Amino acid sequence: MQICNNWPTTNPGRAMVGMQNYAQNKAIMAPGRTMNDPAWGSIGMNEMWRFVPKDGLPAYRSTQLLDGTGAVIATGDTVRADAANFRVNFPNICPPANQTSIYVIKTTYQSLVDPAATFYSLDTVNVIRQNSLPIDTTTTQTDCGGATGTITATASGGTPPYQYSINFGPYQSSGLFTGLAQGVYNIVGMDAAGCTDTLQVPITARANIPGTATQTATGCPGVNNGTITVTTGGGTAPFTFSLDGGAPGNSNIITGVAAGPHTVVFTDANGCTGMVSITVGAGASITSSAPSTVPATCAGSNNGSATINPTSGSAPYTYALNGGTPQTSNVFTGLAGGNYSVLIRDAAGCTGTRTFFVNTGAGISLAPPTSTPESCTGAANGTITVTPNNGTAPFTYTLDGGTPQASNVFTGVTSGFHTVVVRDANNCSATQSLPVSLGTGITATATTSPTACSGASNGGITVTVTPASGTYTYTLDGGTPQGTNIFTGVADGPHTVVVRDAGGCTATVNVTVAAGSNITATTTTNPTSCPGVDNGEITVTPTNGTAPYQYSIDGVTFQASGTFTGLAAGPHTITIRDAS
């Protein structure tokens, strides 16, 4: 395609060149042209022409392998596979095994418009490398006593070319190893990326000496006290015997063998060998019968016990509880309730584990507590009695976190909610909470008898207390307490009586003793005979009060008679006092 950029203003005779396909049989007309215009390829067609694309300069320049940080870790060796595809190799790159490795491939191209300019593309690839380099091996036997065996190793997968090594020696390009004597060889294969794998390959000898083997199992798993006994079926004595490639020995009985598969190679005096394979069994772990246990008496008590009895293994035994220090006794004491594990070890070092559970007893149970109320606020005379149903004497009893006591009865208790903790000789405890009620206290009422008259101290007060039973004291107006509820000789007026019971409860009664009426009387007088003569007379007769009476005139001495004589004329005051 070709475009005339200044069309149509400066070069109206030329238009945009059309576009054709590679086969030259289809094209796109320039704008404004029709099918009636000069035919394709005609002389009159000066806007378009046919062309055949040719190969241009190569655009590809390089391919690089980048890690996750953008660092270049390899540059590819590029081999062109066809006109549009490239095969790129990155030598000496061996991703970690058994995981996904993420790489970025950066491919750089040259600009066809400006050869001095380049651009690149980025492609992210995930690579999962297999765990090892697969290697197949074939072997040929060696002659008896000789070194004629061969091993041929063939690697696959990975990145060719491959190299091979025997017994970790130098690498070689061939996988063939010759001149091998009987034995086990380590064959290592490595690819161009440095990925490796190692195989253990045995070489056997032709016409080996036949042999058989028997085994004695180890005493238990983990103990190396098994044995292998080899019986040769030919060859020339003396023999040597090698276990699992170890140093040869002269005895056909090999001791101290661990459980598991083993190979014994035996060699006679002529250097001919034989080989037997056998698996040494493992004896069972030490077993024990079900432990006998004694429960802890209660939660928080460490007086449980357990007895462990092994049923296999060899005495003497040691016993370790919960990973602790081993002991020779099979009895564990001082145990709280819960799960335990004991490791049993016998004289041969064999072990066995026994788990057990120590139960927890019900502990102390208590009968329902009893209490008596505090008689009144402040009396502090309530009681609490707590009785254990079980447990081990002696017991202690603690009220509200106070000092423990030996008695199960608490006295001097105030009203309210209280908690009692009972603890026995095994340190088992039980708790009970209960209220101590508040009594109604005492109430009191009083009756009075009035004084005979105002000013007389002959009134009375009688006090009645509820409840009626009990020992009470009575105090009148803050005076001396008395045991009787009756007060006599009381003056008229207000009074206060305080009643106190044996528990210190009190009741107060306020009363007023009324005053009786004053004495009234009638009088008769006889006048003086004349002024200045003191011979007048007054006779007084009481109309109430209590006889006998006493009489006083004008404040002089009282007399028993109500008649006063020898009186001067004028006013006089007579005072009457009765028997009360």
Q: 66 and 124 share a domain?
A: yes
Helix locations, 3-108, DSSP H: none
CB proximity list for 466: less than 8 A, separation 6 or greater: 442, 443, 444
Q: 269 and 217 share a domain?
A: yes
Distance CA(509)–CA(412), nearest Å, equals 28
Name the 3-class secondary structure at 347: coil
Residue ranges in the chain whose pLDDT is less than 70: 1-58, 78-86, 91-92, 97-98, 112-113, 129-132, 143, 145-146, 206-207
Q: Is residue 10 part of a domain?
A: no
**How would you class 50 by CB atoms within 10 Å of its CB: exposed for 0-12, middle for 13-18, buried for 19 or more?**
exposed
Residue 500 and residue 472 in contact, taking contact as beta carbons nearer than 8 Å: yes
User: What is the structure's pLDDT at 46?
Assistant: 46
CB proximity list for 498: less than 8 A, separation 6 or greater: 474, 475, 506, 507, 508
User: What is the structure's pLDDT at 16?
Assistant: 44
Of 189, 190, 194, 169, which Cα lies nearest the Cα of 180?
169
- Which of 101, 128, 155 terminates a domain? The answer is 128
Residue-number span of the structural domain to which 565 is assigned: 521-577
Q: 462 and 482 share a domain?
A: yes
User: What is the structure's pLDDT at 543?
Assistant: 85
Q: Is residue 475 part of a domain?
A: yes
Distance CA(434)–CA(439), nearest Å, equals 16
Cα-Cα end-to-end distance for the chain: 158
Residue 180 and residue 149 in contact, taking contact as beta carbons nearer than 8 Å: yes
Q: Is residue 463 part of a domain?
A: yes
Distance CA(439)–CA(9), nearest Å, equals 125
DSSP class of 205: B
Q: 193 and 227 share a domain?
A: no
Residue 56 and residue 115 in contact, taking contact as beta carbons nearer than 8 Å: no
Distance CA(263)–CA(383), nearest Å, equals 88
Total domains in the chain come to 7
Distance CA(488)–CA(462), nearest Å, equals 9
Where residue 186 sits, what CATH number does that domain have? Answer: 2.60.40
Distance CA(483)–CA(465), nearest Å, equals 13
User: What is the structure's pLDDT at 455?
Assistant: 80
Q: Is residue 264 part of a domain?
A: yes
User: What is the structure's pLDDT at 131?
Assistant: 62
Q: 218 and 254 share a domain?
A: yes
- Which of 146, 180, 203 terminates a domain? The answer is 203
User: What is the structure's pLDDT at 27?
Assistant: 61
Q: 197 and 223 share a domain?
A: no
User: What is the structure's pLDDT at 48?
Assistant: 44
Q: Is residue 42 part of a domain?
A: no
Question: pLDDT tens digit string along 535-551?
Answer: 889 899 988 878 898 98
Distance CA(574)–CA(563), nearest Å, equals 10
Q: Is residue 24 part of a domain?
A: no
Q: Check: pTM over 0.85? Answer yes or no.
A: no
Q: Is residue 307 part of a domain?
A: yes
Q: 418 and 473 share a domain?
A: no
Q: In what order do the strands lie in the sheet with 459-466?
A: 443-449, 459-466, 486-490
The amino acid occupying position 57 is: L
- Which of 327, 358, 389 terminates a domain? The answer is 358
The secondary structure of 444-487 as a DSSP string is EEEEEE-BSSTT---EEEEEEEESSSS-EEEEETT---BS-SEE
Q: 122 and 66 share a domain?
A: yes
Q: 231 and 272 share a domain?
A: yes
Question: pLDDT tens digit string along 57-75?
Answer: 457 788 888 888 888 888 8
Distance CA(497)–CA(515), nearest Å, equals 19
Q: Is residue 25 part of a domain?
A: no
User: What is the structure's pLDDT at 56?
Assistant: 47
